[in-house]
Structure 1
Amino acid sequence: MKACTVAVVGGGLAGLYAARALYASGIDVIVLEARDRLGGRILTADEAGMAAEDGFDLGPSWYWPQMQPPMETLIGELGLHSFAQNSEGAVVFERMSRETPQRYLPAMQEQQSMRLSGGTASVVRALAREIPVDRIHLDATVTAMALSDAGIELTVKRSQGSIGILQAEQVVAALPPRLLEATVSFSPEQDSATAARWRDTATWMAPHAKFFAIYDEPFWRTAGLSGTAQSMVGPLVEIHDATTASGKAALFGFPGVGADQRAALGEEMLKQACLAQLSRLFGSGALAPRAVLLKDWAADPLTATAADRVGGGHPLPGSSQWVSGLWKDRLILAGSETSPFEPGYLAGAVVAAGRAVADILSKMDSR
Structure 2
Amino acid sequence: MVIEKKNVIEETDTLIIGGGLSGLYAASILAAEKKEVLLLEARDRIGGRILCTGPNGFSADLGPSWYWPALNPRVCALINALHLTGYPQFETGYCRFQTRDGKVVTMEGQPMDPPGWRLHGGMSALVEGLYKRLPQGTVRLSHPVCDIERQEDGILVSVGVLDEPPECRIKASRVILAMPPRLAARSILFTPDLPHDLTQSMLRANTWMAGHAKFFALYDEAAWRQLGLSGQGFSYHGPLGEIHDGSIETGAPFGLTGFLATPALRRKEKEAMVPAMLAQLGTLFGEEAAHPTAFYYQDWSREPFTATEYDLRAAHNHPEFHLPSGKTTTWDNRFHFAGTETAHHLAGYLEGALASGERAARAVNQAPLTCNQKATHV
Instruction: Report the TM-score when normalising by structure 2.
Output: 0.90
The secondary structure found in structure 2 opposite 1:83 is strand
Q: Please identify, of 356-365 and 194-203, the stretch whose mean Cα deviation from structure 2 is larger.
A: 356-365
- Matched residues in 1 for 2:100 and 2:305: separation? 37
Cα separation, partners in 2 of 1:109 and 1:298, compared to 1, 3 Å: closer
Contact 1:91 1:104 survives alignment (8 Å): yes
Deviations 1:228-273 (A, max 9, x none): 001121211100111134632111121111111003xx32221111
Q: Which residue of 2 aligns with 1:106?
A: 109
Q: CA deviation at 1:226?
A: 0.7
Match of 2:95 among 86, 91, 98: 91
Q: CA deviation at 1:133?
A: 2.1
Name the amino acid aligned to 2:136: V
Contact 2:173 2:369 survives alignment (8 Å): no
Query: What is the 5 A alignment of 1:82-231?
Result: 82-99=86-103, 101-106=104-109, 109-157=112-160, 163-231=167-235
- Structure 1: gaps spanning 5 or more residues: none
Match of 1:353 among 349, 357, 360: 357
Contact 1:43 1:59 survives alignment (8 Å): yes
User: Of Structure 1 and Structure 2, which has the larger fraction of its residues in helix?
Assistant: 1
Q: Give the count of matched residue pairs.
A: 356
The secondary structure found in structure 1 opposite 2:144 is strand
- Matched residues in 2 for 1:196 and 1:322: separation? 15
Q: Which residue of 1 aligns with 2:5?
A: none
Q: CA deviation at 1:98?
A: 4.9
Match of 2:327 among 321, 324, 346: 321
User: Once the two structures are aligned, what percentage of the paired residues are identical?
Assistant: 36
The secondary structure found in structure 1 opposite 2:257 is strand
Contact 1:53 1:122 survives alignment (8 Å): no
Name the amino acid aligned to 2:263: G
* Structure 1 vs Structure 2 CA RMSD: 2.0
The secondary structure found in structure 2 opposite 1:41 is coil
Deviations 1:78-125 (A, max 9, x none): 2111011110111111124353x1222336554111111000000011
- Matched residues in 2 for 1:53 and 1:3: separation? 39
Match of 1:253 among 258, 262, 269: 258
Name the amino acid aligned to 1:103: T
Q: Which residue of 2 aligns with 1:278?
A: 281
Cα separation, partners in 2 of 1:86 and 1:207, compared to 1, 3 Å: same
- Structure 2: gaps spanning 5 or more residues: 1-8, 374-378
- Matched residues in 2 for 1:32 and 1:347: separation? 22
- Matched residues in 2 for 1:293 and 1:357: separation? 35
Name the amino acid aligned to 1:361: N
Q: Which residue of 1 aligns with 2:267?
A: 262
The secondary structure found in structure 2 opposite 1:140 is coil
Contact 1:8 1:172 survives alignment (8 Å): yes
Q: Which residue of 1 aligns with 2:3?
A: none
Instruction: Report the TM-score when normalising by structure 1.
Output: 0.92
Contact 1:39 1:121 survives alignment (8 Å): yes
The secondary structure found in structure 2 opposite 1:129 is helix
Q: CA deviation at 1:22?
A: 0.4
Q: Which residue of 2 aligns with 1:35?
A: 43
Name the amino acid aligned to 2:18: G
The secondary structure found in structure 2 opposite 1:307 is helix
Contact 1:143 1:156 survives alignment (8 Å): yes
Name the amino acid aligned to 2:26: A
- Matched residues in 2 for 1:310 and 1:102: separation? 29
The secondary structure found in structure 2 opposite 1:250 is strand
Q: CA deviation at 1:53?
A: 5.2
- Matched residues in 1 for 2:43 and 2:58: separation? 20
Name the amino acid aligned to 2:327: Q
Cα separation, partners in 2 of 1:102 and 1:79, compared to 1, 3 Å: same
1:339 has 2:334 as partner: no
Q: Which residue of 1 aligns with 2:73?
A: 69
- Matched residues in 2 for 1:213 and 1:194: separation? 42
Contact 1:44 1:53 survives alignment (8 Å): no
Deviations 1:297-334 (A, max 9, x none): 0000000001001122321364642444xx24211010
Match of 1:310 among 309, 313, 331: 313
1:6 has 2:6 as partner: no
